[in-house]
Amino acid sequence: MKSTAHAFVENAREAVADRRLHKALSNMKAGFQNKRAATVAKLPEFEALRDQGRDIKNHVLANLDLYLERFERRVTQAGGQVHWARTAAEAREIVEGICRDAGAKTVTKGKSMVAEEIALNDHLEANGFTPIETDLGEYIIQLRGELPSHIIAPAIHLNKEDVEETFRKEHTHLPADRRFDDVPDFTNEARMVLRQKFQTADVGITGANYLIAETGSTVIVTNEGNGDLTQILPKTHIVVASIEKVVPTLEDATAILRLLARSATGQEFSAYTTFSTGPRRPGDLDGPEAFHVVLLDNGRSALLGTPAQEVLRCIRCGACMNHCPVYAAVGGHAYGWVVPGPIGAALDPGLIGVEEAHHLPNASTFCGRCESVCPMRIPLPKIMHHWRTQAFEKKLSSPSFRLGLKTWAWVAKRPGLYAVGSRLAIGLLAALGGRRGRFATLPLARGWTDHRDMPAPEGKTFRQAWADRRKHEAA
Partner 1 sequence: MARSARDQILGAIRASHKRGPLDGDAAEPARVRLETHPRGLIPARSRIAPAEQVALFVEMAQAVAATVDRVDTLADVPDSVADFLAGHNLPAAIKVAPDPDLRRIPWAKRPVLEVAAGKAEDPDIVSVTGAVAGVAETGTLMLASGPDSPTTLNFLPDNHIVVLRTTRIVGPYEDAWDRLRARGDLPRTVNLITGPSRTGDIEQVIQLGAHGPRRLHIVLVDRDDAA
**Scanning residues 57 to 116, which ones bind partner 1 (CB under 8 A)?**
59, 62-70, 72, 78, 84-86, 90
Query: Is 206 near partner 1 (CB under 8 A)?
Result: no
As a whole number of Å, the CA-based R_g of the chain is 25
**Residue of 3, 58, 301, 464 that binds partner 1 (CB under 8 A):** 301
**11-20 contacts at long range (C-beta below 8 A, 24 or more positions apart):** 11/330, 11/333, 11/334, 11/335, 11/336, 12/329, 12/330, 12/334, 12/363, 14/334, 15/329, 15/330, 15/331, 15/333, 15/334, 16/329, 16/330, 18/331, 20/159, 20/162
Under 8 Å CB-to-CB from 148, ≥6 apart: which residues?
113, 116, 137, 138, 141, 154, 155, 332, 338
Q: Is 329 one of the binding residues for partner 1 (CB under 8 A)?
A: no
Min CB(353)–partner 1 separation in Å: 17
Interacting stretch for partner 1, rule CB under 8 A, among 128-136, 326-334, 339-347, 358-366? 128-136
Interatomic CA distance for residues 278 and 190, integer angstroms: 30
Amino acid sitting at position 295: L
Of 1-9, 115-123, 241-249, 337-345, which part binds partner 1 (CB under 8 A)?
241-249
Pick the binder of partner 1 from 234, 278, 349, 361 (CB under 8 A): 278
Q: Among 133, 252, 348, 371, which residue sits at the site for partner 1 (rule: CB under 8 A)?
A: 252
Candidate ranges 153-161, 336-344, 359-367, 375-383; the one touching partner 1 (CB under 8 A)? 153-161
Among 9, 126, 302, 420, binds partner 1 (CB under 8 A): 302
Least gap, CB of 390 to partner 1 (angstroms): 17
**Closer to partner 1 by Cβ: residue 285 or 475:** 285
Choosing from 22, 160, 382, 423, the residue that interacts with partner 1 (CB under 8 A) is: 160
Q: Which of 144, 170, 287, 422 binds partner 1 (CB under 8 A)?
A: 287
The beta-carbon contacts of 24-33 under 8 Å, at least 24 apart in sequence, are 24/156, 24/157, 24/158, 24/159, 24/162, 24/331, 25/156, 25/157, 25/328, 25/331, 27/156, 28/156, 28/322, 28/328, 32/265, 32/266, 32/318, 32/319, 32/322, 32/323, 33/322, 33/323
Residue 210 CA to its chain's centroid (Å): 16
d(CA 52, CA 44): 14
Residue 409 Cβ vs partner 1, minimum distance, rounded to whole Å:
31
Number of residues that bind partner 1 (CB under 8 A): 104
Closest to 397 (Cα-Cα) out of 441, 347, 361, 448: 361
Minimal distance, residue 372 CB to partner 1, in Å? 21
Site for partner 1 in 8-67 (CB under 8 A): 24, 27-28, 30-32, 43-45, 48-49, 52, 56, 59, 62-67
- Cβ proximity to partner 1: between 188 and 372 the closer is 188
CA–CA distance from 267 to each of 45, 101, 257, 260, 353 (Å)? 16, 40, 11, 9, 35
Contact between 135 and partner 1 per CB under 8 A: yes
- Interactions with partner 1, residue window 179-198 (CB under 8 A): 183-184, 186-188, 190-191, 194-195, 198
Helices (H) and strands (E) in the chain, counts: 24, 12
Q: Nearer to partner 1 by C-beta: 190 or 346?
A: 190
Candidates 171-179, 224-232, 378-386, 387-395 — which segment interacts with partner 1 by CB under 8 A? 224-232
Q: Give the residue with the Cβ less far from partner 1, 8 or 210.
A: 210
Question: Quick one: which segment of 3-11, 117-125, 155-163, 370-378 binds partner 1 (CB under 8 A)?
Answer: 155-163
> Rounded to the nearest 5°, which phi and psi values hold at 446?
-65, -30
By CB under 8 A, tell whether 201 contacts partner 1.
Answer: no
Closest distance to partner 1 from the beta carbon of 31 (Å): 3
Q: Pick between residue 305 and residue 404 the one whose CB is nearest to partner 1.
A: 305
- What is the CA 467 to chain-centroid distance, rounded? 45
SS percent in the chain: helix, strand, coil, step 5: 55, 10, 35
For residue 167, state whether it binds partner 1 (rule: CB under 8 A). Answer: no
